[in-house]
Amino acid sequence: MPVPIDELWKERVAASSALGKAGETLRSRQIDLKEVTSAAKTGAWMKAVEKLRSKQAALAEEAAIASRPKLAEPRQVPAAPSEP
């Protein structure tokens, strides 16, 4: 039994619409995945930068401590030479 052209057209439009929805869903998921990946990379970079800043601050503090004059040790005055 032959199928009327109107019915075939409706099926084609429905299939095209479903394909369009599937394509949009795929694009949406790809965009979401890119955003998640980007956020993860940004988070990892921020963690690495914070770690480096912490190390840099610790080294700067050590350098500042090393360059301070030591107050606990009295300065030694050179002894006057004794005359014979």
Q: What is the pLDDT of residues 23-32, one digit of tens each?
A: 899 999 999 9
Residue 84 in this model has a pLDDT that exceeds 80: no
C-alpha distances (whole Å) from 36 to each of 30, 33, 77, 79 are 10, 5, 68, 73
- For the four alpha carbons of 12, 17, 20 and 25, in that order, the dihedral sign comes to negative
- State the Cα angle at 19 between 15 and 25, rounded to 5°: 145
Tens of pLDDT, residues 10-52: 777 666 777 788 889 999 999 999 999 999 999 999 999 999 9
Cα(68)–Cα(11) distance, integer angstroms = 85
First to last CA, the chain: 139
